[in-house]
A and B are shown apart, each in its own frame.
Chain A
Amino acid sequence: MRESLDRRLADLREAAAYRNYERIREWVLEVKSREIDEGSTTFTASQYWTEELETLDYLFDASPLVIEKLRHHAYTVTGLRAYDYRRGKEDAGEKFKVKLDALRSLAEMDLFVHESPLLGGFGHMIDGGLVNIDTLKYFEVLIAMERGGLLGMFGEDGAGRIVLEVGAGWGGFPYTVKTLFPKVTILIIDLPELFLYSGTYLQTAFPDAHILLHGRDDLTDPHAWEGADFVFVPNTALPEVAPPRLDLGLNMVSFQEMTGSQVEAYVRRIHEMGSPFLYSLNRERSHYNAELDSVSEIIGRWFWSHEIPMLPVNYMKMLRDAKKDVKRARLKSADATPDANEYRHIVGKRRIFT
């Protein structure tokens, strides 16, 4: 037993995923050292994230077995547990199918991407692939973007376009976008620790991807961005980063956890970078976040914001009856008052005078 475990560990240490993890970890440690030296305070994690990050310490010394099942360890980021998708939970799988069908009835483009089984990817097996709450969320977000007119500019493959995601979590949405639009450049700004997930995952999912790392590559040179697939930048470097162009800034479910001044700094910076659009899926603020008043109000200062109505339930909940619920959603009048406590798909269009 001991021998076989040692052999397996040795094999896993040589595997691409673990090597990717080690490379990213080295970079994250460099970033953390710089942060300590510079003593940046503007982007100090909010109380919520400070508590969350304390549970991630073990990832700095992860065993190859942890990296092999990295997706299972992304629980802290998404709240999803692989346990809920095990065999024997087919009833729950049915509900996912109903919701997937409901979303498909709203979509005009084929925008659904299954979860990859890579690094312990999990989900209910539907239509030949894995489906979980995250994959449904990304699908819903892409439909909202399409309805808000944000996807037309990507053309067939997203060539020449740069998208910024603030807080990419484990890297699921960049994976989805890159699968749909292989030539798009995705700039991720996040807490350094979270790149242990997203960096490892994306480099493993796209082994040939050209990845730029802040602090190691010269991001001030516009030519450096040419042909880049992913660009990783820690949140503390937000004021310095200046992509040669920016076509879309987006955030899902993390503005609501930040302080008001942090949200404002991100939205203002996205505007300064020249992005014509900003997309947000957030509540006005999380129930327990007292450091923020309203996400949409802050977005509205720099972008003309419009809400895209989607399903009558939020991305975490399932539907009872696809047809009825979708019909109900369609009947929602255009001037229905939005619920401040609900997740809202907001599409912001650049203001000239702010």
Chain B
Amino acid sequence: MTSKPGLGASSPRVILGMPLYNSAEHLPEAIESLLGQTFRDFRIVCTDDGTDEQSAEIINRYQQIDARIDYYRNPERLGLTSNWRRCVEVALSRYPDAELFAWVSDHDHWHLLWLETLVAAIDRDPNVVGVFARSAVMGDGRTLNPRSATPSLSHVGLYTTRLRLISRRLRAGHSIYGLFRMDTVRRAGIFRDVLYADRLFLTEASLYGSVEQVDAILYYKRPTGAFSIDRQRKSCFPNGVPLYARLPWWLQHARVLALELGIRGAGMPRVSRGAGMRVALLSGIYNGRMVADGHWRWYRKDRANRIERLPTHVRKGAAESSCSRLDDLRARTAAEIVSLRRLAGK
């Protein structure tokens, strides 16, 4: 752990938690875009889960010019979700009076008005527990492609509607980089040890109030390679994948929600035990159905691709065969229509 001058002074209003993991290449850009924010009452808490020394060197360079950066090195590799959680735990212990929290990545870029805009948005309405900005995607060619708007996870009243919205439309990898009330972060279990922990966090946070989108592109995301569930499993659980983590992710979420909200009553008084059970059930149903639909869409697409890849003579045969079946059908239908007309004529 590196200590720095200025600690112990009054708590900043916002903590930016930056989990680090061997991403030195884009770290200077990420840090500079945060230090340049027009809203200045924040601390960046970096928890380094990586193996290289470069990240520490870079952070140290910026610590020389700005006292708002804290750096902590994990004694052993924690894995993705645990390191994200560690950020919050360090922030809570170091700055217990901080009101707001945001996770920030070590390879993205933030518009200098990002924090000012999000703080203003969350301050406007006490029912808002989280806000996030629209994003654009950066590629290696340094292009920026704006993404379409993500729906706000507004407090729409019925859990049914909200959970369906989350299951179908949420881009968790984007919305998770929003600004949340510290109290909500705590109540939503910080970052639980499940796959797609960001999705589960946003689901839980939305039970305590609105999670709103600010309609401005203020966050620039750099994709970090193709997503795969196996890759996430390995990065979340570097010391061995527990048995429950081998379940489908939506079952893991439903299980956690049932345990935490339904049995332990962690959401009370806002979410009663009964409501918690209902949330767990609905989450399982909607997410499960969404996954099944996704598989079905993939299967249909894959089947079409496989037919495309077939040798020409086979494809031609398949096409002819389907044509002949279609002709049979047409002939039969025509015959039926004729017979029906005859009947009607009689």
Residues of chain A at the chain B interface (Cβ within 8 Å): 147-149, 152-153, 276, 304-309, 332-338, 347, 349-353
Contacts and interface: CB of A to CB of B under 8 A. Distances in A.
Interface in B119-139: 136-139
Which 4 residue pairs spanning A and B have beta carbons closest together?
A335-B139, A334-B139, A149-B111, A352-B32
Nearest to A336: B141
Given A153-B113, A334-B143, A306 B216 contact: no
B142 interface: yes
B61 A149 contact: no
B216 A333 contact: no
A276 B110 CA distance: 12
B316 to A, nearest CB: 30
B39 to A, nearest CB: 13
B36 interface: yes
Given A304-B29, A334-B143, A349 B138 contact: no
Contacts of B32: 304, 350-353
Given A336-B141, A338-B143, 5 more contacts: A147-B146, A306-B144, A334-B143, A335-B140, A336-B139
Contacts of A153: 113
Overall SS of chain B's interface: mixed
A180 to B, nearest CB: 17
Interface stretch (B202-210, B217-225, B229-237): B217-225
B65 interface: yes
A149 B216 contact: yes
B217 A334 contact: no
B138 A334 contact: yes
Contacts of B223: 334
B109 interface: yes
23 contacts: A147-B144, A147-B217, A152-B113, A152-B216, A276-B36, A304-B33, A304-B109, A306-B142, A308-B143, A308-B144, A309-B143, A309-B145, A332-B143, A332-B145, A333-B139, A334-B141, A334-B143, A334-B144, A335-B140, A336-B139, A337-B141, A338-B142, A352-B36
A305 B109 CA distance: 11
Contacts of A147: 136, 144, 146, 217
Contacts of B35: 352
A144 to B, nearest CB: 9
A335 B144 CA distance: 9
B286 to A, nearest CB: 30
Given A147-B136, A149-B111, A276-B112, A306 B33 contact: no
Given A149-B217, A304-B32, A351-B32, A338 B136 contact: no
B335 to A, nearest CB: 44
A11 B33 CA distance: 56
B264 to A, nearest CB: 42
Nearest to A304: B29
B112 to A, nearest CB: 5
Interface string B232-264: 000000000000000000000000000000000
Candidate in B36, B62, B65, B143 with the most chain A CB atoms within 10 angstroms: B143
B47 to A, nearest CB: 22
Nearest to B114: A149
B19 interface: no
Contacts of B139: 333-336
A352 B112 CA distance: 13
Contact of B65 (A304, A306, A352): A352
A276 B132 CA distance: 22
Contacts of B142: 305-307, 338
A149 B32 CA distance: 17
